[in-house]
Amino acid sequence: MCKVHHSPLLASQANFENNRRWLTYDILTGRLNESHPLWSYFLNNGIKESELSFFLENTCIPYICGFNYYVTSERYLDEHLYIYPQRYRGGNEHVRYADLEAVRSGKVIPTGFYGLLKEAWERYHLPLSLTEVHLGCTREEQLRWLYEAFCAARKLKSEGADFRAITAWSLLGSFDWNSLLRVQNHTYESGVFDLRPGYPRRTALADLIRSLSHGKDYHHPILQIPGWWKHDIRILYNKPDNKNQNIQEQPDLNEISPLLIIGARGSLGKAFARVCEHRGIVFQLLTREQIDIASMKSLERYLEKVKPWAIINAAGFTDIDQAEINPKICFRENTIGPENLATIACLPGLKCLHSQPIRFSMERKKNLMLSKTQQRL
């Protein structure tokens, strides 16, 4: 399932490609006749009319039409070759042009799951399914991609389309799928299960699939953020002057439940914040002045105000000399605070991760650094 977008000069080539994309089902359903845009193309390339007529006389209408759609399925054709790397360059007998992923161009907004499925339904009025839904990316983006496919199918079905199924591809992940197996780099992309630990480990997709397969919707704050393919970061070429041009409307981040990161001054807290930015996770990076985790009242008051879905505690004393000078303060920050968070973590729908380095001085000349992480999920 694809679509080709184009610059004005390449309208003819794009029109050809957009007719060609339907050929499999056009042939099976008897639509490849004399009025079909590609009828003469086949005759001009040596296929006899009698051979084409065979398919008209012997239609094989599918019981169900399966379509695959990837983030790279939609293309953009542009004659301005100098803008693009060599790998995109090609052409026809009349003009040289670049053929790149539409998602990487600032000239267009990809049609997406819903639009393309709607085109298929209006063309054939046959039962539909998505037979491969996969994105090689972080777990958050994989969730967004699959859920977007589900929402598109649900919307189409509510409008009267006969939509039957979605396949999460692939169950155990895949190797070198990012190059369609053309290059053996042994690049692994996890699926519903991740094989890298040495056993099939459930990923976040498993919970999503379980909920949807039981007829239940799936709610998580990260699904309120559109995937990277709908942000301006998707654009690598032809970046518009207005960065909001040719991207979809973005949600109000203030209305989305955040992830709280406690420890804004430390390197660990800042590292967690960078990861959240990269993965499209709404977060708040807080200092001790903004939230006092050693005070249960302060903690409860702040949580009631912002309603986070998870807390990461990356704060606490890490300097053993300062801890010895201020033992009461150290005990308050490193013991009472985490204890309060552990108590708070018992609340339904809230997760808490506590990470804190503990130093032991065994001898004056030897320091042993242990990183002890207590996780309550």
Q: What are the sequence ranges of the domains in the chain?
A: 3-234, 257-376
H-assigned helices in 192-336: 204-213, 267-279, 296-306, 320-325, 327-331
* First-residue to last-residue Cα distance in the chain: 39
User: CA-CA distance, 310 to 307, in Å (whole number)?
Assistant: 9
Cis peptide before 158 (omega within 30 of 0): no
- List of the chain residues with pLDDT < 50: 360-377
pLDDT at residue 243 in the model: 63
* Helices 112-124, 139-158: inter-axial angle, 10-degree rounding: 30
What is the model's pTM?
A: 0.88
User: CA-CA distance, 45 to 42, in Å (whole number)?
Assistant: 5
* Structure tokens that stand for 246 in this block: 């040719």
Does domain 257-376 correspond to CATH entry 3.40.50.970?
Answer: no
Buried b (16+ CB within 10 A) or exposed e, 56-76: eeeeeeeeebebebbbbbbbb
pLDDT at residue 244 in the model: 61
Task: Please give the C-alpha separations between residue 247 and each of 73, 105, 374, in angstroms, as whole numbers.
Answer: 18, 11, 40
pLDDT at residue 247 in the model: 64
Task: Please give the C-alpha separations between residue 38 and each of 15, 17, 125, 139, 305, in angstroms, as whole numbers.
Answer: 11, 10, 21, 42, 62
CB neighbour list of residue 254: distance below 8 Å, 6 or more residues apart: none
pLDDT at residue 133 in the model: 97
pLDDT at residue 180 in the model: 86
3-234 has which fold? TIM Barrel (3.20.20)
